Each structure stands twice: as C-alpha cells, then as structure tokens.
C-alpha cells in the first residue's frame, strides 16, 4: 500500500450497510452505518460516504472490497432482499476505483473466522476444534447466509454458497404443519423462510394457525422479547422452534462438510438472546442425526458475537489481494 492509497471495505446486508476505511493492518477507521431502505441505490450510499470523508476516486488511488448479501459471480448484481441492482463494471468506472472486489457477505464472514479472538465468539455445547479441518458458517438475519472455509495449499480458502435456499425438511408433526402452512404462501419452502427475521414471524403465524389461537401482528423483535420474558406461550414456542430448526440446519452443514473445525452461527439475530439460545434445543437438534449423532457430537458450535465480522473478513480479503498484487510487481 502506498501513502496515497485509500482502502475501502463495506458489509452490505438487506437492512444495514456498514462502510469504513482500513489501514495496512486491517484496522477500521471512519466506520459509518447506513439504513439501506433510506437510499435508492448502492451508488448513492457510497457517494454520501465519499463526500463525508472527502474521497475522490479520480484523484486518489482507491481500492475497495464490498461484501454483499447476494450472488456476485455475474457483472449484474441483483440483491436478494433489497431492490438494488447495478453493474460491477459500471460502479467501478463511475466511482473511479483502482480495484473493486465484490464478494458474498458470507464469504467475508468466512474470511473473518480465523481472526476472531475468544471474546468475539461464544461456544454452545460440546466438541473441540480440530485444526485445519473444514469450518461451516450459517447466519439468520434478513436472509439466511451460508459459507464454508477449507484448508488447502497451506492456506485457508473461503467457499461461498447459497445453502440458505435449500429445501426445508421437517422432522415431526409440528414442523410438517409449519411446512404445510408456508406451502399456502410459497410454491417452494426453503430454510430461509424459517431462519430469518421474516422466518420468526412466519413460524409464529404458522403455530397460531396450528394451535388455533388468534394471531397478533407481532414483528420478530416483539416475538423474541415476549419469548424471553415468557409472557406469551406461542412466542416462546416460536423461538424454541426457531432454535431447533437452526440446530437441524447447522447439523446438516456439519455432516455435509465434516466441519470438525467448528460450525459458526453468524447474523444479527442469535447474539441478541444468547442465554435463551444456549438453553434451547439448538444443540440437541444439531447432534440428533440418527446413526451419525456421535459424529456431530464431536463438532463444536459457536455464536459469533463480534458485531462487524463482515468488515473484518472484507478487510482480510482486501489486504490479501493487495499483498498478492505487490508480489506480482
């Protein structure tokens, strides 16, 4: 990095956008959080940030890594849970970026995992990390993100994906009833329809229907608060069901990739009710895999409590790309 180089990182979700500058060590500076719904486009947010901190890509050497909550393999980016679409090439040209890297938001979180200290994560249940074994990440938030990290060629490699959109698989009568309720709304029901902010609301609505009780117009925050305070039985059942479903899903990831490096729960929802989550059926369902219960019982699970894992990962990615470029000079 040269003295006049400015390095920008951003974590772009369906609700919030966090953007900052980083130094040579990846330390964040001038962090600002935006509400995505208040802006018509990604470009308008970046323009605001550049104006605020007097950044001019045509006069300065600006590199950027933007972690975004949608697939990034094509030039046209069309966000899954936000009405923003844009061309990566045009965005780079319009803002006069020297380098622009677009990575999936959970690819960024995957890049952060091996930088997290003990105080940035919270262990739930048993199992111990095995060094250099695969790591899986999933996280309920506006949507349900998924990524993996594997060791190869003497380095960690982040592997993105869209596992949150895999088919929801109920395992008991209550969950079959939830599936049937959601099938009235959707032609196909994915795990994201349960494991997200909207998912909490939909589980609540489905359980009210199943239990034949009146449905209140509670949002996800109200449902979780009433569950924690134990002032609403259906809300309590909703959050318990949410935790169990997340346990099943996370356990499936562990089986798929033999994630003896650990399974990490990211996203903005679970860290808000850690004590409830730890006492819930999450870990039991994580391990409840029939003949392979013993397999998952050895795999540790963690909740990421660090508030900015996406920025940490985007920083790590950008620093690595800058190093690679310097080695090629």
The mean per-residue pLDDT over the stretch 247-266 comes to 97
Structural contact between residues 218 and 167, judged by C-beta atoms closer than 8 angstroms: no
pLDDT-above-90 percentage for the chain: 81
Q: Are residues 11 and 142 part of one domain?
A: no
- Give the C-alpha separation, 171 to 152, whole Å: 36
Query: In terms of domains, do 243 and 157 share one?
Result: yes
Residues 142, 190, single domain; the answer is: yes
Residue 112 lies in a domain: no
Whether the CB-CB separation of 193 and 214 falls below 8 Å is answered with: no
Determine the pLDDT at residue 24. Answer: 83
- Say whether both 22 and 165 belong to one domain: no
Same domain, 88 and 127: no
Residue 254 belongs to a domain: yes
Residue 223 and residue 122 in one domain: yes
| Domain identity same for 291 and 315 | no
The answer on pLDDT for 246 being more than 80 is yes
Is residue 328 pLDDT above 70, yes or no?
no
* pTM of structure: 0.86
Question: What CATH number did the domain enclosing 79 receive?
Answer: 3.30.420.40
CATH for 166:
3.40.367.20
Annotated binding site for ATP: 10-15
Whether residue 111 is contained in a domain is answered as no
* Residue 89, pLDDT score: 97
Segment 87-139, tens digit of pLDDT: 999 999 999 999 999 998 888 999 999 889 999 999 999 999 999 999 999 99
Assess whether 41 and 184 both reside in one domain.
Answer: no
Residue 1's pLDDT is what?
42
Q: What is the pLDDT of residue 327?
A: 54
**Would you say residue 83 has pLDDT above 50?**
yes
The pLDDT value recorded for residue 2 is 44
Would you list which residues are annotated within the binding site? 10-15
Q: How far apart are alpha carbons 183 and 179 in whole angstroms?
A: 6
Question: How many domains does one find in the chain?
Answer: 2
With b for 16 or more beta-carbon neighbours within 10 A and e for fewer, the 259-283 pattern comes to bbbbbbbbbebbbebeebbeebbbb
| pLDDT tens digit sequence for 29-42 | 999 999 999 999 99
pLDDT greater than 50 at residue 294: yes
Parent domain of 49: 5-105+308-328
Mean pLDDT of 191-210: 97
Asked whether residue 94 falls in the same domain as residue 132, the answer is: no
Name the pLDDT band for 326 (thresholds 50, 70, 90): low
Residue 320 lies in a domain: yes
Helical pair 220-229 and 233-257, crossing angle rounded to 10 deg: 100
């Amino acid at each position: 990095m040269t003295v006049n180089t400015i390095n920008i990182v951003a974590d772009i979700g369906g609700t919030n956008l966090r953007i900052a500058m980083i130094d040579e060590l990846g330390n964040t500076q001038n962090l600002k959080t935006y509400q995505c719904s208040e802006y018509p486009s990604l470009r308008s947010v970046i323009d605001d940030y550049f104006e605020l901190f007097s950044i001019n890509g045509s006069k300065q050497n600006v590199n950027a890594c933007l972690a975004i909550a949608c697939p990034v393999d094509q030039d046209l980016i069309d966000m899954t849970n936000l009405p923003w679409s844009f061309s990566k090439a045009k965005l780079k040209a319009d803002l006069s970026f020297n380098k622009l890297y677009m990575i999936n938001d959970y690819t960024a979180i995957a890049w952060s995992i091996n930088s997290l200290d003990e105080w940035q994560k919270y262990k739930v249940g048993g199992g111990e990390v095995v060094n250099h074994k695969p790591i899986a990440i999933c996280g309920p938030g506006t949507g349900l993100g998924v990524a993996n990290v594997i060791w190869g060629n003497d380095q960690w490699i982040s592997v993105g994906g869209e596992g949150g959109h895999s088919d929801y698989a109920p395992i008991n009568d209550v969950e079959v009833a939830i599936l049937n309720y959601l099938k009235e709304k959707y032609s196909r029901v994915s795990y994201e329809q349960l494991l997200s902010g909207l998912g909490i609301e939909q589980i609540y609505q489905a359980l009210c229907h199943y239990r034949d009780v009146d449905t209140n117009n509670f949002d996800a925050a109200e449902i979780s608060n009433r569950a924690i305070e134990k002032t609403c039985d259906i809300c309590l059942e909703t959050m318990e069901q949410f935790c169990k479903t997340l346990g099943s899903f996370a356990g499936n990831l562990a089986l798929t990739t033999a994630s003896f490096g650990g399974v990490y729960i990211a996203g903005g929802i679970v860290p808000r009710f850690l004590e409830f989550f730890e006492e819930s059926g999450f870990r039991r369902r994580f391990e409840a895999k029939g003949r392979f219960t013993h397999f998952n019982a050895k795999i540790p699970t963690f909740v990421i409590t660090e508030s900015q894992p996406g920025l940490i990962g985007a920083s790590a990615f950008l620093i690595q790309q800058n190093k690679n470029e310097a080695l090629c000079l």
